[in-house]
């Protein structure tokens, strides 16, 4: 199946996204940011609809929306007047409603809208692949540069503040990286499913890892393997590629959970 150019691009995109989601997902699970990621990813729905309505790149407008929501969550959480989950719920529901309203104005673009919501990795172009690679490298480089500080904050935020670490800036930066991951994953699994790849592989890794380094590598391995196996299954069984990648990732989690229980029991 990899004789076809579109399948080669799809494979490269799945592997690249797996690397990004594995590394970033390590911190998402460690910081318990899963619901934050849901809010950021779903906020991109309004951006996608606005891009289609205005006739400009939906990925561009989705990126602006996602980053704005990420910074909004960080700013509101820092002020401490509302709980973080309440703020996320407001942004989540508001952006989804905005997306539906905007989409109802611009009828006749259902296929385009759905491809961004649920992904269409088989249609990814060479230009989009390079964009994914560029932003993916940016995310991984940023994580690498701030890795020790992010790990410090993840284990004990109060002590990190006592040692005068820029906790608020690190939290905001992590949320912005989540927003970038949502945008680059839109064409592979879609903005509604990208959160699964940011959480499930890292959660699966946590079932096996005894050390944070093992968890980081295993999260990346599970994410990449989910992309490869999901893409292969989707091709041979004629299934939706993005959703199949997510289902393979979820299957890894439940198999790991059952095996761990059997071993410990």
Residue 32 burial class via C-beta count within 10 angstroms: exposed 0-12, middle 13-18, buried 19 and up: exposed
Kindly report which listed range (109-118, 223-232, 236-245) carries the lowest average pLDDT score.
109-118
d(CA 54, CA 57): 9
Q: Across residues 245-254, what is the average pLDDT?
A: 95
Identify the domain containing residue 190 by its residue range. 5-264
Instruction: Convert the pLDDT of each residue in 115-147 to its tens digit.
Output: 777 888 888 888 888 988 998 999 999 999 999
Banded model confidence at residue 265, pLDDT cuts 50, 70, 90: low
Asked if pLDDT for residue 67 goes beyond 70, the answer is yes
Banded model confidence at residue 113, pLDDT cuts 50, 70, 90: confident
Asked if pLDDT for residue 23 goes beyond 90, the answer is yes
- Give 69 or 112, the one with higher predicted confidence: 69
Q: Across residues 172-197, what is the average pLDDT?
A: 86
Half-sphere exposure of 157 (CA within 13 A, CB side): 10
d(CA 49, CA 98): 8
Asked if pLDDT for residue 202 goes beyond 70, the answer is yes
Q: Is 97 helix (H, G, I), strand (E, B) or coil?
A: helix
92 neighbors 216 (Cβ within 8 angstroms): no
Looking up residue 229, the CATH number of its domain turns out to be 1.10.3470.10
Q: Across residues 194-205, what is the average pLDDT?
A: 92
128 neighbors 183 (Cβ within 8 angstroms): no
39 neighbors 194 (Cβ within 8 angstroms): no
Tokens of 190: 């879609």
Q: Across residues 149-176, what is the average pLDDT?
A: 88
| pLDDT for the residue numbered 110 | 65
What is the pTM (predicted TM-score) of this model?
0.87
Q: Across residues 84-106, what is the average pLDDT?
A: 79
222 neighbors 231 (Cβ within 8 angstroms): no
Domain count across the chain: 1
77 neighbors 71 (Cβ within 8 angstroms): no
Q: 34-66 burial, b for 16+ CB within 10 Å, e for fewer?
A: bebbbbbbbbbbbbbbbbbbeeeebbebbbbbb
- DSSP assignment of 46-87 equals HHHHHHHHHTS-HHHHHHHHHHHHHHHHHHHHHHTSS-HHHH
Mean pLDDT of the chain: 86
Radius of gyration of the chain (CA): 18
Q: Across residues 95-101, what is the average pLDDT?
A: 83
């Amino acid at each position: 199946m990899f004789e076809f150019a579109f399948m080669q691009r799809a494979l490269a995109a799945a592997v690249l996204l797996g690397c990004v989601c594995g590394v970033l997902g390590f911190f998402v699970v460690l910081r318990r940011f899963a619901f934050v990621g849901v809010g950021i990813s779903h906020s991109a729905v309004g951006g996608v609809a606005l891009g289609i309505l205005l006739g400009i790149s939906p990925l561009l407008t989705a990126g602006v929306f996602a980053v704005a929501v990420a910074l909004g969550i960080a700013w509101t959480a820092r002020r401490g007047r509302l709980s973080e989950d309440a703020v996320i719920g407001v942004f989540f529901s508001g952006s989804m409603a905005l997306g539906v309203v905007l989409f109802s104005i611009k009828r006749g673009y259902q296929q385009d809208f759905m491809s961004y919501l649920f992904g269409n990795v088989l249609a990814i172009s060479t230009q989009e692949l390079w964009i994914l690679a560029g932003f993916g490298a940016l995310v991984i480089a940023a994580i690498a540069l701030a890795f020790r500080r992010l790990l410090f904050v993840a284990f004990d935020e109060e002590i990190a503040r006592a040692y005068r670490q820029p906790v608020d800036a690190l939290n905001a930066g992590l949320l912005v990286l989540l927003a970038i991951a949502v945008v680059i994953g839109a064409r592979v699994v879609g903005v509604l499913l990208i959160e699964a790849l940011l959480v499930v592989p890292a959660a699966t890794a946590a079932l096996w890892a005894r050390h944070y380094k093992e968890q980081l590598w295993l999260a990346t391995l599970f994410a990449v393997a989910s992309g490869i196996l999901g893409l292969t299954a989707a091709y041979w069984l004629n299934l939706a590629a993005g959703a199949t990648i997510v289902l393979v990732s979820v299957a890894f989690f439940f198999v790991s959970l059952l095996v761990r229980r059997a071993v410990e029991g």
